[in-house]
């Protein structure tokens, strides 16, 4: 399918995201576009292959390449990205999928929008952030997660999704420093099957008794050990309820927020941020086993350390309290993503109205690695 030569990537995606076709370009157009991409440098390599920066016409794109024996992971991730109504400013933008048959091997491509700041993990390793940026990042991640978690109940509406591998390496930092959630390969969908009695005039009331199920037979203990919720680590997660999967994401979100907090300067003029650390890095510097994580998080009930420094600033202090409500042991007591998003919107207003953060947009952030 031809793509007119004067069309930019943004215009193309805008045109099709508002069409009735679905959240993506028509399949043939996806393939055409993918085959016009020139691969540039390698920007990441993970369990499922490698990620390259690529170029399509004037625009950069990201290309995640799966090997042929990872076809299932590729199929799963593109299926999730093509979920109806998934497009959102805080979810990585899907562009195209393609399976290229070379003579001796098959390459499976997943093309997405490219973010030059890389993952939140990479960004925090190299930069500190200010309080307004902290809240902006926190709110944008909560908004992305809220969109994933929320079913939208209209005809053909979006189903609810749970991510199951939320961590700073799977969150990308956009140019304006807001974030988007990426790496949806382990996500699960909530499947609702309506009761049969559709002609029954009282059927409206019946919808509350919808059967809720999960779209794949989930292996409950997937994800990254370091970010696994206590109920995932000790295998007590209730797999019959979709809420359980969302609650496990919320625990991981608490750890992500803690990583952001460490890198946040208390005041815009003083670079007092803590060095970057992964969650539980002080106890397990590298690759903990699931048993080690279980001992720390479930048995000893250890959580990331809170610094006194953060409690001196009211916005950071609120963020600390929020973390504690997200990584709480009982999944039923964790806040929902909508609640988190609302709280952070309030914090954003406080920041915007507070004289101590005026001209936040023009404030330079200090980077410890810069300078002579
Ligand atoms: P995996 O499933 O192998 O973990 P990811 O989708 O998480 O693969 O990508 C691996 C890494 O590649 C990310 O942590 C990030 O550093 C980089 N990356 C992935 N997608 C993009 C993108 N769209 N823009 C910029 N960097 C990206
Ligand atoms: Mg990843
Ligand atoms: Mg992955």
ipTM of predicted complex: 0.99
Residue 131 is given by DSSP the state H
Pocket residue to mutate for ligand 1, from 51, 56, 62, 125, most atoms within 8 A of Cβ: 51
Per residue in 314-368, pLDDT (tens digit) is 999 999 999 999 999 999 999 999 999 999 999 999 999 987 775 545 445 555 5
Q: Ligand 2 centre and the CA of 111: distance in Å?
A: 15
Give 4: exposed, middle or buried? Use CB within 10 Å, 0-12, 13-18, 19+.
exposed
Q: Output the pLDDT for position 332.
A: 97
Q: Ligand 1 centre and the CA of 288: distance in Å?
A: 22
Q: Tell whether ligand 1 has an atom less than 6 A from the beta carbon of residue 73.
A: no
Per residue in 94-119, pLDDT (tens digit) is 999 999 877 677 789 999 999 999 99
Q: Among 78, 64, 101, which Cα is nearest to 22's? A: 78
For residues 62 and 114, the answer to whether their CB atoms sit within 8 Å is yes
153 is catalytic: no
Please list the residues that pair with 188 across neighbouring strands: 162
Q: Ligand 3 centre and the CA of 48: distance in Å?
A: 7
Q: Among 48, 2, 47, which Cα is nearest to 25's? A: 2
For residues 86 and 158, the answer to whether their CB atoms sit within 8 Å is yes
- Residues shown for the chain: 372
Ligand 1 atom with least separation from CA of 46: 3
Q: Which position among 165, 235, 282, 330 bears the catalytic label?
A: 165
Q: Tell whether ligand 1 has an atom less than 6 A from the beta carbon of residue 301.
A: no
Angle at 254 between CA 252 and CA 260, to 5 degrees: 110
Q: Compute the distance between CA of residue 25 and CA of residue 95 in angstroms, rounded to an integer.
A: 7
Residue 184 is given by DSSP the state -
> The tokens of 21 are what?
């076709």
Q: Tell whether ligand 1 has an atom less than 6 A from the beta carbon of residue 164.
A: no
Q: Among 41, 52, 87, 55, which Cα is nearest to 180's? A: 87
Q: In which element (H, E) is residue 213 found?
A: strand 211-214
Q: Tell whether ligand 1 has an atom less than 6 A from the beta carbon of residue 25.
A: no
Q: Output the pLDDT for position 107.
A: 86
HSE of 338, CA atoms in CB hemisphere, 13 A:
3
Neighbours of 14 (CB within 10 A): 11
For residues 128 and 265, the answer to whether their CB atoms sit within 8 Å is yes
Q: Ligand 1 centre and the CA of 229: distance in Å?
A: 23
Q: Output the pLDDT for position 192.
A: 72
For residues 17 and 95, the answer to whether their CB atoms sit within 8 Å is no
Pocket residue to mutate for ligand 1, from 118, 167, 175, most atoms within 8 A of Cβ: 118
Residue 312 is given by DSSP the state G
Q: Ligand 3 centre and the CA of 366: distance in Å?
A: 32
> The tokens of 305 are what?
């350390």
Nearest C-alpha to atom 14 of ligand 1 is from which residue?
Answer: 169
Ligand 1 atom with least separation from CA of 61: 23
Q: Output the pLDDT for position 208.
A: 46
CB within 5 A of ion ligand 3: which residues? 183, 185
Ligand nearest to the CA of 92: 1
Please list the residues that pair with 181 across neighbouring strands: 91, 171
Q: Ligand 3 centre and the CA of 268: distance in Å?
A: 35
Ligand 1 atom with least separation from CA of 48: 3
Q: Tell whether ligand 1 has an atom less than 6 A from the beta carbon of residue 119.
A: yes
Please list the residues that pair with 68 across neighbouring strands: none
Ligand 1 atom with least separation from CA of 51: 12
> The tokens of 341 are what?
């998003």
First vs last C-alpha separation in the chain: 54
**Segments of the chain with pLDDT less than 50:** 201-203, 205-209, 360, 362-363, 370-372
For residues 317 and 306, the answer to whether their CB atoms sit within 8 Å is no
Q: Tell whether ligand 1 has an atom less than 6 A from the beta carbon of residue 331.
A: no
Q: Output the pLDDT for position 350.
A: 95
Q: Among 135, 5, 110, which Cα is nearest to 49's? A: 110
> The tokens of 16 are what?
């099709």
Pairing of strands 171-173, 106-113: unpaired
Q: Tell whether ligand 1 has an atom less than 6 A from the beta carbon of residue 261.
A: no
64 is in an annotated binding site: yes
Q: Tell whether ligand 1 has an atom less than 6 A from the beta carbon of residue 118.
A: yes
Q: Output the pLDDT for position 206.
A: 44
């Amino acid at each position: 399918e031809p793509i007119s030569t004067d069309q930019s990537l943004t215009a193309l995606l805008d045109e099709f995201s508002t069409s009735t076709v679905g959240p993506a370009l028509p399949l043939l157009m996806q393939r055409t576009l993918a085959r016009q991409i020139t691969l540039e440098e390698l920007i990441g390599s993970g369990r499922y292959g490698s990620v390259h920066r690529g170029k399509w016409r004037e625009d950069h794109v990201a290309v995640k390449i799966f090997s042929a024996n990872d076809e299932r992971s590729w199929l799963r991730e593109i299926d999730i990205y093509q979920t109806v109504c998934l497009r959102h400013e805080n979810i990585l933008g899907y562009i195209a999928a393609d399976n290229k048959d070379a003579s001796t091997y098959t390459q499976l491509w997943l093309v997405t929008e490219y973010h030059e700041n890389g993952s939140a993990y990479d960004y925090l390793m190299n930069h500190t952030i200010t309080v307004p940026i902290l809240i902006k990042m926190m709110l944008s991640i909560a908004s992305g997660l809220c969109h994933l978690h929320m079913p939208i109940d209209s005809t053909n509406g979006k189903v609810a999704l749970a991510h199951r591998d939320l961590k700073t390496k799977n969150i990308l930092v956009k140019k304006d420093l807001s974030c988007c959630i990426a790496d949806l390969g382990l996500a699960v969908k909530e499947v609702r099957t309506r009761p049969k009695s559709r002609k029954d005039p009282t059927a409206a009331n019946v919808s509350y008794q919808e059967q809720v199920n999960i779209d794949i037979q989930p292996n409950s203990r997937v994800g990254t050990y370091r970010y696994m919720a206590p109920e995932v680590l000790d295998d007590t997660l209730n797999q019959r309820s979709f809420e359980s999967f969302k609650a496990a994401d919320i625990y991981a979100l608490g750890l992500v927020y803690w990583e952001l907090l460490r890198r946040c300067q208390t005041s815009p003029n003083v670079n007092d941020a803590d060095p970057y650390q992964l969650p539980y890095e002080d106890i397990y510097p590298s690759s903990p086993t699931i048993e080690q994580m279980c001992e720390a998080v479930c048995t000893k009930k250890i959580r990331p350390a809170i610094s006194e420094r953060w409690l001196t600033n009211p916005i950071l202090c609120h963020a600390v309290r929020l973390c504690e409500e997200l990584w709480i042991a009982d999944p039923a007591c964790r806040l929902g993503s909508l609640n988190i998003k609302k709280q952070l919107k309030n914090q954003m207003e406080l920041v915007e109205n507070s004289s101590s953060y005026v001209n936040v947009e023009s404030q330079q952030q200090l980077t410890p690695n810069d300078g002579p």
